[in-house]
C-alpha cells in the first residue's frame, strides 16, 4: 500500500479539498494522499481531519501503517516549494516509491495520475525517472485561461529552454511523478525557490543529474472554485531565478546517478 503518494499543498482550499481527495480515492488504481496545509484560516485542515477515518484499510486504525489519507500541518504560509519538499521528505521516511505533485483545485485531472505512474513504473528501456504532466508537449492544452496568461506561460518555457539548455516543453508544470530514488538524490542539496522557479529548479536538477524525464500530455483546466495563488512576485522569481540557477550550476558538480548513466563518462539527459 505504501507505493504511491500524492502530495497536495493547500492554503484556503476548503471549496475543493474534499472533492479532490474523494476523486483520487475513486481511481481504479490505489494512491495514498498527503495534504500539506499552511495554516489555512478557512478550515481546510479541519475538513481533511473530518474525513480521514473514511480512508482506512480494512482492520487498521488511523494510527496504523495502513491509513491512506494523511495531513501535515504547517504554521503560516511558507510557500509551495517548501510544502512539496516537506511532503517529499515525509513520504521518503515512510518508504513510498512513487511521489506525485498535484494541485488541489482540479486544474490537474486526478485521472492522469495513472498515466504519470505508468510512465515511471513500466518495465521498459525508456522508463522515466520523472514524468511531467505537460500542457505543451502536444500543442497548447489549456482550458479557461485568458490568452495573456497562456502566452506568458508558453513563452516562459521558451525562455527556460534557452537559458538552461533543457528541451522540456513545460518546465513550470506542477503535475509530476518522481521515483523515490530521484528525490533521495536531489534533496541532498537545498532547493532555493518557492513558486514557478521551484518547479523549474526541480526539473533542472533532475536533468543535470542525468535522470530520464518524460513529458506526458495532459489537459490543464483553470480552477472554477477558490482563488489562484499566482502573483507578480512568483513570476519575477521565475524570470530572475532561472538566470541565477544557471549561473550557480557552473560551480556545482553533478555526478550522474541513474544506473544506466553509470556506464558512461557523462550523463545522458533524455527529455
Q: What pLDDT, in 10s, does the model give residues 18-46?
A: 999 999 999 999 999 999 999 999 999 99
Q: Do 69 and 157 form a contact (C-beta atoms < 8 A)?
A: no
pLDDT band at 269 (very low <50, low <70, confident <90, very high): very low
Percent of the chain with pLDDT over 90: 62
Element (H, E) at 9: strand 4-10
- The tens digit of pLDDT for each residue in 118-137 reads 999 988 888 999 999 999 99
Q: Which residues of 231-247 are buried (b: 16+ CB within 10 A; e: fewer)?
A: eeebbebbeebbeebee
Mean residue pLDDT of the chain comes to: 86
Per the confidence metrics, is the pTM higher than 0.85? yes
- The pLDDT of 248-266, averaged and rounded, is 61
Please tell me the CATH superfamily of domain 4-264, with its number.
Spore Coat Polysaccharide Biosynthesis Protein SpsA; Chain A (3.90.550.10)
Question: In the predicted model, is pLDDT for residue 225 greater than 70?
Answer: no
DSSP state of 55: S
Amino acid at each position: 500500500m505504501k507505493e504511491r503518494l500524492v502530495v497536495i499543498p493547500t492554503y484556503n482550499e476548503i471549496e475543493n479539498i474534499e472533492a479532490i481527495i474523494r476523486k483520487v480515492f475513486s481511481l481504479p488504481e490505489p494512491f495514498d494522499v498527503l495534504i500539506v496545509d499552511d495554516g489555512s484560516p478557512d478550515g481546510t485542515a479541519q475538513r481533511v481531519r473530518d474525513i480521514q477515518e473514511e480512508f482506512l484499510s480494512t482492520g487498521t486504525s488511523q494510527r496504523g501503517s495502513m491509513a491512506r489519507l494523511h495531513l501535515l500541518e504547517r504554521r503560516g504560509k511558507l510557500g509551495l516549494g517548501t510544502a512539496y519538499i516537506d511532503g517529499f521528505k515525509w513520504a521518503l521516511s515512510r518508504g513510498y516509491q512513487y511521489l506525485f505533485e498535484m494541485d488541489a483545485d482540479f486544474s490537474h485531472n486526478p485521472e492522469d495520475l495513472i498515466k504519470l505512474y505508468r510512465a515511471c513504473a513500466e518495465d521498459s528501456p525508456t522508463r522515466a525517472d520523472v514524468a511531467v504532466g505537460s500542457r505543451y508537449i502536444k500543442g497548447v492544452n489549456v482550458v479557461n485561461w485568458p490568452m495573456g496568461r497562456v502566452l506568458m506561460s508558453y513563452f516562459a518555457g521558451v525562455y527556460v529552454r534557452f537559458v538552461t539548455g533543457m528541451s522540456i516543453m513545460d518546465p513550470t508544470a506542477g503535475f509530476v511523478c518522481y521515483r523515490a530514488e530521484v528525490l533521495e538524490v536531489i534533496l541532498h542539496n537545498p532547493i532555493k525557490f518557492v513558486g514557478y522557479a521551484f518547479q523549474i529548479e526541480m526539473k533542472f536538477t533532475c536533468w543535470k543529474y542525468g535522470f530520464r524525464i518524460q513529458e506526458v500530455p495532459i489537459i490543464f483546466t483553470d480552477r472554477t472554485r477558490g482563488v489562484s495563488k499566482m502573483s507578480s512576485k512568483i513570476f519575477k522569481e521565475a524570470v530572475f531565478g532561472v538566470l541565477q540557477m544557471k549561473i550557480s550550476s557552473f560551480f556545482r558538480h553533478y555526478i550522474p546517478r541513474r544506473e544506466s548513466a553509470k556506464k558512461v563518462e557523462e550523463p545522458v539527459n533524455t527529455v
